[in-house]
Structure 1
Amino acid sequence: MLDRLAGNTALKAELGAALRTGRLPHAVLLVGEAGCGAGFAARCLAADYLYPQGGPHAEAVLKGEDTECLVLQGEGASGQIPVKRVREMREAIQHSALSTDAAGRVLFIYGAQNLNGSSANAMLKIIEEPPEGVLFLLTATSAATVLPTIRSRCAAYTIAPVPADECAALLKDRGLPGPLAEELAFVYEGHIGTALRAFQDAGTRTTLAQAKELCGYAAQNDTYRALALLTKYERDREGFLSLLWQLDQVCSAVLRRPVYGTRQCGGLTPAAAAIILRAGAEMRRHVMANGNLRLAVALLAARIA
């Protein structure tokens, strides 16, 4: 199943060899920026570990449906992994019987950077004295964000984005029209998971389209229409932060390829894109510090247009 992971040839060869020789560490940390496929890579590795011969059970692992896989991830507004859930997983691992079909059991910890002090200590007890046959697969956006006590017990591997042309080819294989596949692969710099989400998820598609529309208003110095678009985010903090993120991607694309601003963003120039990036960063800091959202929306419209 590791062969299904895009790019990352050296990583797949190393993990594949470790599986074949029985030398895979019992705790593996897969590090990659959001959209690089760290979660998918973890499921691929889990499928090969549990079901070396492949088959329906291995496919179920990729879909997150296999009973030998347990999952820990952030919860609630804080996004942290609570210690209560870690203890529940410890009980589940230690006191439930293994399936006769699987080679072991896997515990996924998605977003290991969201383990706080208490939950990390509880997790450490499991990792240091693991039940036989249990593989711990952790993901994180950066190894530096994972508490040292956890990070030091894991073998860390980095998942890299694929080259834009390879990403575009993969997107076309998934059914995206050629021009759209090439645009998304370029805008998201080979982060295939992010590009797929921009195609498959209606909300993400809308936010990307609005980011490009807003760039067009900025190019035309049209404060009125910029504010009209942004007003709908006056009570939607998470939506506004998502829009700011998409603005970052679009403006970065214009800086890397100015013709993209001409063709896709209403004539936005690199100089104007740089202004939007600075304004977006300022508004993000304001919102993250629990500043007034309505004020942030109005200021963004004024700064960029």
Structure 2
Amino acid sequence: MLERLAGNAALKSELGAALRAGRLPHAILLVGEPGCGAGFAARCLAADYLYPQGGAHAEAVLNGTDTECVSLRGSGKSGGIPVDDVRAMREKIQHSALSTDAAGRVMFIYGAQNLNGTQGSAANALLKILEEPPADVLFLLTAPSAATVLPTIRSRCAAYTVAPVPADECCALLGSRGVPAPMAQELSFLYEGHIGKALQVFADADTRALLASAKKLLEHTARQDTYRALALLNGYEKNREGFAALLWQLEQLCSAVLRRPAYGADACGGLQPDAAARALQAIYSAKKDLTANGNLKLILAVLAADLCKTEPQ
């Protein structure tokens, strides 16, 4: 199943060799930016660990429905993993019976950086089972960066990086998933090989609409049209989460213009690299203010003004 992971040849080779030799670490941290496929890589590895011969059960692991796997994820606005959830999963993995056709059991911790809250109690609860793991249990953690995971957890894991794939390989994979060629080419370039992000745009109408709004806002930026920029941004006056997602898309678009100036003309209403660079500064400032829980209406107004300035900021 690991072969289904795009790119990452060295990662697949190393983990595959360890699995075949029976020396796979009992706890593995897969690090990768959102959209790189760290979660998918974890499920592929789990499928190969539990069902080396493949089959329906292995496919169920990839789909997240196999009974030999338990999962922890963040919840709520903070995304934190509650300590009670960790304790419940710990009890389940320690006391559940093993199926006769599985080689072991797997515990997924998606977003291990979210164990940091609640004064470390969730991390401490997990640490107990990591230090004294039940037999044949594989712990698979994911995080956007190893540095975001508490040292006590990180030190008990073997860390591996899941990297974006080259743009041409990403484009080919998107094409195999039914993405039209022009769209596949654009998304592969725009998201720099982050397949998950590209597939989300293709599959989710809301994400496509968000990307279109970001492009329209940069078109207003290119024309220095503060009025229309503010009118668009005012649609996020009661939607902090949506505005944060818009800022992320704006950041990707401006970066793309800097990497390929012609992209500004093709996709962003004629945005030039110098304007894209200034826009990035405005975006970073807005992200900082948003994180600090600033007044959203004021943040939107300042961003519209800063985006449409002609002089360097």
TM-score range normalised by the length of the shorter chain: over 0.9
Aligned partner letter, 1:83: V
Q: Give the drift of 1:76.
A: 1.2
Q: Distance in 2 between matches of 1:283 and 1:10?
A: 38
**Which position in structure 1 is the counterpart of 2:227?**
224
Q: Distance in 2 between matches of 1:184 and 1:273?
A: 18
Within 5 Å, give how 1:62-211 maps onto structure 2. 62-116=62-116, 117-211=120-214
Q: Percent identity?
A: 72
Q: Distance in 1 between matches of 2:208 and 2:198?
A: 10
Structure 2 stretches lacking a partner, 5+ long? 309-313
Query: What is the TM-score with the length of structure 1 in the denominator?
Result: 0.99
Structure 1 stretches lacking a partner, 5+ long? none
Query: Which of 238, 242, 245 is the matching residue for 1:239?
Result: 242
Query: What is the TM-score with the length of structure 2 in the denominator?
Result: 0.96
Aligned partner letter, 1:252: S
**Which position in structure 1 is the counterpart of 2:217?**
214
Aligned partner letter, 2:141: L
1:28 maps onto 2:28 in alignment: yes
Tell me the alpha carbon deviations over residues 150-182 of structure 1, each in whole angstroms, 9 at most, x when there is no partner.
111101100010011111111011100101001
1:279 maps onto 2:279 in alignment: no
Tell me the alpha carbon deviations over residues 169-217 of structure 1, each in whole angstroms, 9 at most, x when there is no partner.
1101110010100100000000011111111111111111111111111
Aligned partner letter, 1:137: L
1:249 maps onto 2:252 in alignment: yes
Tell me the alpha carbon deviations over residues 235-265 of structure 1, each in whole angstroms, 9 at most, x when there is no partner.
1000000000000000000000000001111
**Which position in structure 2 is the counterpart of 1:40?**
40
**Which position in structure 2 is the counterpart of 1:265?**
268
**Which position in structure 2 is the counterpart of 1:3?**
3
Tell me the alpha carbon deviations over residues 129-165 of structure 1, each in whole angstroms, 9 at most, x when there is no partner.
1111100000010001111111111011000100111
The ranges of structure 1 where at least 4 consecutive aligned residues each deviate by more than 2 angstroms after the TM superposition are none
Q: Distance in 2 between matches of 1:79 and 1:202?
A: 24
The total of aligned residue pairs comes to: 305
Tell me the alpha carbon deviations over residues 106-128 of structure 1, each in whole angstroms, 9 at most, x when there is no partner.
00000111112111111010011
1:18 maps onto 2:21 in alignment: no
State the SS of the aligned residue for 2:22: coil
**Which position in structure 2 is the counterpart of 1:293?**
296
State the SS of the aligned residue for 2:159: strand
**Which position in structure 1 is the counterpart of 2:311?**
none
Q: Distance in 1 between matches of 2:85 and 2:17?
A: 33
State the SS of the aligned residue for 2:30: strand
State the SS of the aligned residue for 1:17: helix
Q: Distance in 2 between matches of 1:276 and 1:63?
A: 40
State the SS of the aligned residue for 2:220: helix
Q: Give the drift of 1:24.
A: 0.3
- CA RMSD in angstroms comes to 0.7
State the SS of the aligned residue for 1:137: strand
Q: Distance in 2 between matches of 1:262 and 1:225?
A: 19
Q: Distance in 2 between matches of 1:201 and 1:267?
A: 26
Q: Distance in 1 between matches of 2:66 and 2:21?
A: 24
Q: Give the drift of 1:277.
A: 0.6
